[in-house]
Structure 1
Amino acid sequence: MWRALIVLGLLAGCAPRAALMSAPSGLDLPTRSVFVTTQRDIDPDTRVLTSARSPQSRHMQIDITLPPNRPEGEVAFPFRKPDPETDMLVSDVTPFGTQRALITGIKRALSQSDEKRVQLYIHGYNNTFADGVLRTVQMAEDFDFNGVSAHYSWPSAGNALAYAFDRESIMASRSGLQDLIVALSGLTTKEFTVVAHSVGSDLLMEVLRDLAISGRRDVLDRLDGVVLISPDIDLDVFKAQATRIGKLPDPFIVIASPNDRALTVSARLTGQVSRVGSLGDSDELGAFDLLFLDVSGLSSGGDRLRHFTAASSPEAIRLIRQLSKTADALGRDAALRPGLIPGSVIRARQTTRIILGQP
């Protein structure tokens, strides 16, 4: 186990850590707003959000500048001397005292947006607060999302060696995320989708399961899509969660790769052969009505762990964007016809597997 943790630490240790830095005043660059709910506690001395768990949620709107020279697939991390031409910087922060105030802010943004859609992103393992906020912006920009972006920041330690802490943190964060999803489901929007990464996928599945158990089918039915990117979930646990949820939101998408090095380590730590996000095929998921996107044949971009290929690889971004636009224009069933999508289609009972980039 310790050897696996050390390998993961070495692989992740060279990756830059995001920081939120202020943009110069008077800067004339386009921005994206992110509506954030977090259960991270605040350091009483520095007033900075930390990895400590808080029993209460905090809400805010953060406006991030968009650098004109950012390569597609990259989160533009600012360092000691941030450059607005290459880095994502904070142009404004608006705190909300209550969840109701947050929802009012989202309603206002929806009334001004080109698309009446809300997309909620839940980050994964080993993420700082800034990691999740800037990743939300990067994905919205690269996937041409023109609705309202929201982000749920659960208290990850932001440390590659703190896997156990992170898994316990997601269990402590279920109520906070559930409250947020229930509130967002009450919005009158064309579409409300939820995207989760890594162990954040396990957190989301637990919340969807809890909603089903508590009879909140109305909330589940308001979800117009769920996307699990590299889900760090035990296969048997996922099956139990999905079975208890019942009818899954449509579309329900799992993005996976057997080349995922982070999930290979996770499997060793948990004594399993593989995780849902590292399955080589979708046969084990055949009982569930979902789309299984296999990105193993695509370049990983700058992601050495191959744990976020879907959002870090320009090739993957282009293919997923093409698939999404085809489905929006023609509908899901029509979009899966041979020749219309950027990959080969394999159907196993209720599950449809798409191997992206394969003719």
Structure 2
Amino acid sequence: MPKKIVLAALFVLSGCGHPSGVMTPVALTATTPKTSQVEMLVATNRQPSGNPATLFNGERSPKPFLTDIEVSIPPKREAGTVQWPRRLPPNPATDFAVTRVKQLDTRAEGRAWFRQHLEGGHALVFIHGFNNKYEDSVFRLAQIVHDSGMHATPVLFTWPSRASLFAYEYDKESTNYSRSALEQALRVLSEDKDVKDITILAHSMGTWLAMEALRQMGIRDGHVNSKIRDVILASPDIDIQVFAKQYVEMGTPRPKFTIFVSQDDKALAASSFITGRVARLGGINPAEEPYRTKLEEAGITAIDLTKVRTGDRLNHGKFAESPEIVQLIGQRLMVGQKLTDSNISLGEGVAAVIGGTARTVGAVTATTIAAPLNAVEHPITQKKATDVGDSLQNDPQSKLLTQ
């Protein structure tokens, strides 16, 4: 079956779109019902669009940009959903709406913003997936922060996606283009004395970018910065064997990894077809061999969401669209609580989804596994790591976000 037919089928399943160009700030008035505000720092290596309604497009820029953004969230809505406006401008009473946009011209301004908004020394870095506009990732992160109840300062890293189901190859190459920019952004955060710990939450193709940036950091330094404590990979669109190599080559000690998987993920099934029928990490069954036994040694927690139901017809965004799952991220995973089969008592609603019950969900489990397949192979030698690190020091992309 040709790739275009597969992607066209995904387009039908994904449903209708929404109005584009929502980044122009709207004012909250005295008659606006009480709304919730989410403030975030957005780092990007997209090109500016020259249009205040979109801010940035899907093309690549060698120069990084930082933006202070505030999003208003309406009071009456279902958790796990993004209320896109049906018409422009958005109505804050019923829609997600941008209420502030301020470009930060220097890294010093970015540091100052972060210190003013730092919550308990905790930072969350969110990396979106394939087929995302700038505004898509802004609203998704706002929804996750609000619905999870997390106590952390949100940072969005949005990479150049053309936001088209027919631009898979371009988007994948854009993640490769962006790995040094993300690595440098993580270094800047880690070097801030007021930052205690960093959680990375990456989705879909963004998980490849996250793993590549961490691997690159590990090769340079011998290990990932210790402030990067938790890495959460949702629906990871990564070849299983490649993930294993990335995991090993980032060195030790490593952050604590959690992956959300689902065997009914139609987007990952399409990705597998496009990439030569290679299994994706996000589609494994962690309760089956060789994954469960072979991977326990690495201490990676896999949470199987196959039986979780949301409004996503592709079953690709369950981590954000299930109220129980997104609260699990904010209330348990981000505070460093390790999930196992024996300590999954998260309250009746969450336990029914994550822990499963003999009568209902059953097969939905939180399973501790290790990195897939050959993840326990011998790590690269120190000499090789040094050689590769030296060559990367000359990469002009490594200077991104330092100017």
* TM-score scaled by length of structure 2: 0.78
Deviation at residue 201 of structure 1 after TM alignment? 0.3
Q: Residue 202 of structure 1 corresponds to which residue in structure 2? A: 208
Report what 1:55 is aligned to.
62
Q: 2: distance between equivalents of 1:198 and 1:100? A: 31
- The residue that corresponds to 1:3 in the other structure is 5
Structure 1 residue 86 displacement after superposition: 1.8
For residues 32 and 349 of structure 1, what CA distance do their matches in structure 2 show? 35
- C-alpha separation in 1, matches of 2:232 and 2:225: 14
Q: Distance in 2 between matches of 1:134 and 1:140?
A: 10
Partner Cα separation in structure 2 for residue 137 and residue 101 of structure 1: 22
Residue aligning to 2:320:
311
Amino acid at match of 2:302: F
Amino acid at match of 1:199: M
Q: Which amino acid aligns with 1:251?
A: K
Determine the C-alpha separation between the residues in 1 that align with 2:19 and 2:314. 15
Consecutive unaligned residues in structure 2, runs of 5 or more = 356-364, 373-403
Q: After TM superposition, list the pairs within 5 Å mapping 1:191-270 onto structure 2.
A: 191-215=197-221, 217=223, 219-247=224-252, 249-270=254-275
- 2 CA distance for matches of 1:195 and 1:2? 30
Extract unaligned runs of 5+ from structure 1. 352-359
User: Per-residue deviation at 1:274?
Assistant: 2.1
Q: CA deviation at 1:296?
A: 0.7
Query: What's 2:107 paired with?
Result: 99
Alpha-carbon distance between aligned partners in 1 of 2:344 and 2:157, rounded to the nearest angstrom: 37
CA contact (8 A) 2:303 2:367 kept: no
How far off its partner does 1:24 sit?
2.6
Structure 1 residue matching 2:126: 3-state secondary structure = strand
CA gap of 1:45–1:252, structure 2 versus 1, over 3 A, is closer
Do 1:9 and 1:161's aligned partners in 2 also have CA atoms closer than 8 Å?
A: no
Q: Which amino acid in 2 is paired with 1:88?
A: F
Identity %: 29
Paired residue secondary structure (2:80) = coil
**Does the C-alpha gap of structure 1 residues 174 and 83 become closer, same or farther in structure 2, counting only changes over 3 Å?**
same
Match of 2:23 among 20, 26, 34: 20
Question: In the alignment, which of 276, 280, 291 is matched to residue 285 of structure 2?
Answer: 280
Q: Secondary structure at the match of 2:221?
A: coil
1:171 corresponding residue in structure 2: 176
Which position in structure 2 is the counterpart of 1:296?
Answer: 306
Q: What is the Cα deviation at residue 166 of structure 1? A: 0.4
Between structure 1 and structure 2, the one with the greater Rg is 2
Superposed, 1:77-116 pairs within 5 Å as: 77-81=84-88, 82-110=90-118, 113=119, 115-116=120-121
Distance 1:204 1:117 in 2: 18
Question: Does the 8 Å CA contact 1:21/1:78 hold for their aligned counterparts?
Answer: no
Aligned AA for 2:91? D
- In 2, Cα distance between the equivalents of 1:288 and 1:176? 28
What is the letter of the counterpart of residue 136 of structure 2?
D
Distance between the aligned counterparts of 1:235 and 1:17, measured in 2?
A: 36
Counterpart of 1:354 in structure 2 is none
CA shift in 2, pair 1:227/1:347, >3 Å: closer
C-alpha distance in 2 between matches for 1:249 and 1:140:
25
Match of 2:383 in 1: none
Which letter does structure 2 place at the counterpart of 1:23? V
Match status 1:158 vs 2:163: yes
Once residues 221 and 194 of structure 1 are traced to their aligned partners in structure 2, the CA distance between those partners, rounded to angstroms, is: 13
SS state at 2:135 partner = helix
Find the aligned partners of 1:143 and 1:103 in 2 and give their Cα distance: 25
User: Which residue type is aligned with residue 73 of structure 1?
Assistant: G
Q: Which is further off, 278-287 or 128-137? A: 278-287
| Partners of 1:125 and 1:54 in 2: CA distance | 18
Deviates more, 1:74-83 or 1:259-268: 74-83
Equivalent in the alignment of 2:72: 65
Cα distance in 2 for residues equivalent to 1:142 and 1:129: 20
Alignment coverage as a number of residue pairs? 342
Give the direction of change, closer, same or farther, for the CA distance of 1:39–1:93 in structure 2 (3 Å limit).
same
| SS of structure 1 residue aligned to 2:247 | helix
Shift of the alpha carbon at 1:234? 0.5
Residue type matched to 1:11 in 2? L
Matching residue's letter, 1:101: E
Which AA in structure 2 matches 1:5?
L
C-alpha deviation, 1:20, in angstroms: 2.6
Work out whether residues 197 and 229 of structure 1, in 8 Å CA contact, stay in contact via their aligned partners in 2. yes
Tell whether the 8 Å contact from 2:302 to 2:368 is kept in structure 1 after alignment.
no
Pick from 138, 145, 148 the counterpart of residue 143 of structure 1: 148
Q: CA deviation at 1:288?
A: 2.5
Equivalent-residue separation in structure 1 for 2:226 and 2:121 (angstroms): 17
Deviation at 1:100, TM superposition (A): 2.8
Equivalent residues of 1:127, 1:156 under 8 A apart:
yes
Q: Which residue is 1:357 aligned to?
A: none
Q: Secondary structure at the match of 2:298?
A: coil
2 CA distance for matches of 1:78 and 1:153?
Answer: 22
Alignment-derived partner of residue 132 in structure 2: 127
Deviation at 1:318, TM superposition (A): 4.9
Aligned AA (2:197): E
**Aligned position for 2:39:** 33
